[in-house]
Amino acid sequence: MCATCGCDSGGSTAIHHLGEHEHTHGAHSHSHSHSHDHGHSHASSKTIVDVEQDVLHQNNLLAQRNRGYFDAKNILALNLVSSPGSGKTSLLERTLKDLKGELEFAVIEGDQQTTNDADRIHATGTKVTQINTGKGCHLDSHMVLHALQGMKPKDNSVLFIENVGNLVCPAMFDLGEKERVVIISVTEGDDKPLKYPDMFHSSTLCIVNKIDLLPYVPFDMEKVKANAKKVNPALEILEVSCTSGEGLQTWYNWLKSRVAVSELI
Amino acid sequence: MHELSIVMSIIDIAKQQADRACATIIDEIELDIGTLSGIEMDSFEFAWKQAVRGSVLEGAVRKINTIEAKARCLDCDAVFSIHHYFDPCPVCGEHLLDILSGKELKVKSLVVS
Ligand SMILES: Nc1nc2c(ncn2[C@@H]2O[C@H](COP(=O)(O)OP(=O)(O)O)[C@@H](O)[C@H]2O)c(=O)[nH]1
Ligand SMILES: [Mg+2]
Ligand SMILES: [Zn+2]
Ligand SMILES: [Zn+2]
Ligand SMILES: [Zn+2]
Ligand SMILES: [Zn+2]
């Protein structure tokens, strides 16, 4: 039984704090026991129960709890989402190296099977926790809550949460992040925002990666921007290459502006 | 396929509520699903069939209220139905919309005995 949320262990989600112990943790429901002190008879007739409960209620509650934790410690938590291979881990590797000494970082890596990405982050000298979701195609707030328990990110740090590569369902699961950052690369179609509108609608920043490949692929930058703005007129869009480094400074400025803002609060 | 975890959550909620009402059988379940909720109905059907087997909802009649998505244009105030986030305002053509409905995903009621 886990003390924080009352869940039972034993299931398919595995959490690895790199360089430390590991423990498996359950895919399970959170049951709330109740006492029958309201004095009634168990009638056999049919009763209508007004439920009116959001299906994502449990996830949203734990997300709020994570958010409270981040606020209390003044941690800037960012949820990074993309299709597989768009460059989430590459962007983190570059960022962690380039801003080392300027900002304090911690990383949660979500992946179905391997710890490859966490190993890449670990190599930069940053504190990292891997969540393996098994068959699960997204992170949820409960997994993040447990990852946080072991890692204890520092006050005033930036916490990157790399979600499972998937532009569909991670859109529905609030992790308690401050902002959601969606990454696409120029080797993907410029209609991505229209195909995955939920993700672009719920993100505040869109990073278009691999612009070093623009000469070789049929990718219309203006079109992707127009499509993204149709879905979410408030979306900020940055163009970068993790390989050449082009545009990364604007991303670093964005990041620092967010840290400065959260320091004021 | 997140529809499976959604159905699992629905089963959890139904079970909790049935316990609370001291009921052993769930005869009916009523769901509100908005057209912008992110649920793909074919996947949902598939996940439902798999997941309710052996659960409290196995024999339950399921009723789904499809909630139409509506938006207000922040430029001209027109209120209209949309099918996608990227639909423009039919009056002025702008995309700055306030989503009024369509994101619902909830268990509305149960009939238990
Ligand atoms: N040409 C080019 N390749 C890149 C760039 N960023 C990442 N890649 C490559 O794209 C592949 C997937 O990157 P990765 O960071 O693992 O993507 P993730 O699945 O989103 O984490 C790797 O082979 C990277 O080397 C870039 O800016 N330009
Ligand atoms: Mg990765
Ligand atoms: Zn737990
Ligand atoms: Zn739990
Ligand atoms: Zn998923
Ligand atoms: Zn209008």
As a whole number, mean pLDDT of residues B83-104 equals 95
Query: Minimal Cα distance from A35: which residue of B?
Result: B20
B15 contact residues in A (CB cutoff 8 A): 29
Does residue A193 lie in a domain region?
yes
The interface pTM score, or ipTM, of the predicted complex is 0.89
Other CB atoms closer than 10 Å to residue B107's CB: what's the count?
24
At A150 the pLDDT is: 83
Radius of gyration from C-alpha coordinates of chain B: 17
Beta carbons within 8 Å of A128's beta carbon, 6+ residues apart: A18, A106, A107, A108, A109, A118, A121, A122
Confidence of residue B82 (pLDDT cuts 50, 70, 90): very high
Does residue A154 lie in a domain region?
yes
Q: Which of A215, A217, A188 is nearest to A206 (CA)?
A: A188
B6 contact residues in A (CB cutoff 8 A): 55-56, 172
Give the C-alpha separation, B108 to A34, whole Å: 21
Give the C-alpha separation, A37 to B17, whole Å: 16
Residues A39 and A25 sit within 8 Å (Cβ to Cβ): no
At A263 the pLDDT is: 67
At A16 the pLDDT is: 81
The CATH number covering residue A193 comes to 3.40.50.300
Beta carbons within 8 Å of B50's beta carbon, 6+ residues apart: B4
At A261 the pLDDT is: 73
Give the C-alpha separation, A223 to A225, whole Å: 5
B109 contact residues in A (CB cutoff 8 A): 48-52
* Paired strand residues for B72: B79, B98
**How confident is the model over B27-55, as pLDDT tens digits?**
999 999 999 999 999 999 999 999 999 99
If one counts the domains in chain B, the total is 1
SS3 B67: strand
Residues A131 and A25 sit within 8 Å (Cβ to Cβ): no
DSSP annotation of B105 reads E
At A254 the pLDDT is: 97
- Strands A13-17 and A127-132 turn out to be antiparallel
At A38 the pLDDT is: 52
At A232 the pLDDT is: 96
Beta carbons within 8 Å of A50's beta carbon, 6+ residues apart: B108, B109
If one counts the domains in chain A, the total is 1
Query: Minimal Cα distance from B98: which residue of A?
Result: A232
Instruction: List the domain range (segments joined by +) for residue B65.
Output: 3-112
A166 lines ligand 1 (CB under 6 A): no
The CATH number covering residue B91 comes to 3.30.2320.80
Cα diameter, chain A: 75
Q: Is the pLDDT of residue B68 over 70?
A: yes
A55 and B9 in contact by Cβ < 8 A?
yes
Residues B102 and B67 sit within 8 Å (Cβ to Cβ): yes
Does residue A1 lie in a domain region?
no
Q: What atom in ligand 1 is closest to the CA of residue A244?
A: 27
Residue A68 CA, ligand 4 centroid: distance in Å: 17
Other CB atoms closer than 10 Å to residue B92's CB: what's the count?
12
DSSP annotation of A126 reads -
Does residue A153 lie in a domain region?
yes
Task: Spell out the per-residue pLDDT of chain A, length 265, in tens.
Answer: 455 565 654 456 788 877 544 444 444 444 444 555 555 555 568 999 999 999 999 999 999 999 999 999 999 999 999 999 999 999 999 999 999 999 999 999 999 999 999 999 999 999 999 999 998 889 999 999 999 998 999 999 999 999 999 999 899 999 999 999 999 999 999 999 999 999 999 999 999 999 999 999 999 999 999 999 999 999 999 999 999 999 999 999 999 999 977 666 5
Best of A30, A33, A51 to substitute, by most chain B Cβ atoms within 10 angstroms, is A51
Residues A208 and A184 sit within 8 Å (Cβ to Cβ): yes
Instruction: List the domain range (segments joined by +) for residue A177.
Output: 13-19+56-264
At A185 the pLDDT is: 98
